[in-house]
């Protein structure tokens, strides 16, 4: 039983290596953007269930997520192989996390929060929080995050509502694709 769980969490660790942390670009360690927007800057409350698929270097990994955001907090629970492996609670100031003991350290709550906010938050709220050198553009159903004028992330939406349907995030800087399928949470 223990070795089977270790294999499962090793697979989840590949998810983390694909989607988070620092990366090496041209031999130099590159830090993440570090975006941390207050929950109320989303502009509304949402409750969704999401299926995440990460693709990198020919590998595909999956994570199921329940996400709730209201003006006071963002809460997220991540499930892998039917087991809760991660919980995030963010009030706009402090990020509290719980992680399964076997969850690899490469799965960083800060990286998950950043991708959620880059995907779901209004472009204007993101724009106001970006550090020097960073910018964001929107055209139709595409959002582009740029660093010094160079695209580092493309986000394509299947419809105007950012938290329903399909969202595809292509991270050009860290070389991974994140596909998010969202549906409203059931009561």
Q: pLDDT tens digits for the chain (187 residues)? A: 444 443 444 444 434 433 444 444 444 435 578 899 999 999 999 999 999 998 888 888 888 999 999 999 999 999 988 889 999 999 999 999 999 887 777 778 888 899 999 999 999 999 999 999 999 999 999 999 999 999 999 999 999 888 889 999 999 998 999 999 998 766 5
- Work out the number of other CB atoms within 10 angstroms of the CB of residue 151: 13
Q: How many residues does the chain have?
A: 187
Where does residue 93 rank: exposed (0-12), middle (13-18), buried (19+ CB within 10 A)? Answer: exposed
CA separation for the pair 10, 172 (Å, rounded): 25
Q: Could you write out the three-class secondary structure of 7-69?
A: HHHHHHHHHHHHHCCCEEECCEEECCCCCCCCHHHHCCCEEEEEEEEEEECCEEEEEEEEEEE
DSSP state, 110? Answer: H
Q: Which helix (H) or strand (E) holds 143?
A: strand 142-147
Pick the CATH number of 2-184 from 2.50.20, 3.20.20, 3.40.50, 2.40.128: 2.50.20
What is residue 125's three-state secondary structure? helix
Domain ranges of the chain: 2-184
What global pTM score does this model have? 0.81
């Amino acid at each position: 039983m223990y070795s089977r769980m270790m294999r499962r969490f090793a697979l989840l660790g590949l998810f983390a290596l694909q989607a988070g942390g620092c990366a090496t670009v041209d031999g130099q360690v590159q830090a993440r953007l570090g975006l941390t927007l207050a929950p109320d800057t989303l502009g509304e409350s949402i409750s969704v269930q999401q299926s995440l698929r990460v693709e990198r270097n020919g590998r595909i990994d999956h994570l199921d997520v329940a996400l709730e955001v209201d003006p006071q907090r963002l809460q997220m629970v991540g499930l892998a192989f039917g087991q809760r492996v991660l919980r995030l609670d963010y009030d706009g100031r402090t990020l509290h996390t719980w992680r399964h003991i076997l969850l690899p350290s490469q799965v960083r709550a800060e990286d998950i929060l950043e991708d959620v906010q880059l995907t779901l938050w209004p472009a204007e709220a993101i724009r106001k929080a970006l550090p020097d050198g960073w910018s964001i553009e929107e055209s139709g159903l595409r959002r582009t995050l740029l660093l010094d004028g160079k695209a580092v992330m493309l986000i394509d939406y299947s419809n105007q509502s950012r938290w329903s349907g399909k969202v595809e995030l292509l991270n050009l800087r860290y070389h991974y694709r994140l596909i998010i399928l969202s549906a409203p949470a059931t009561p």
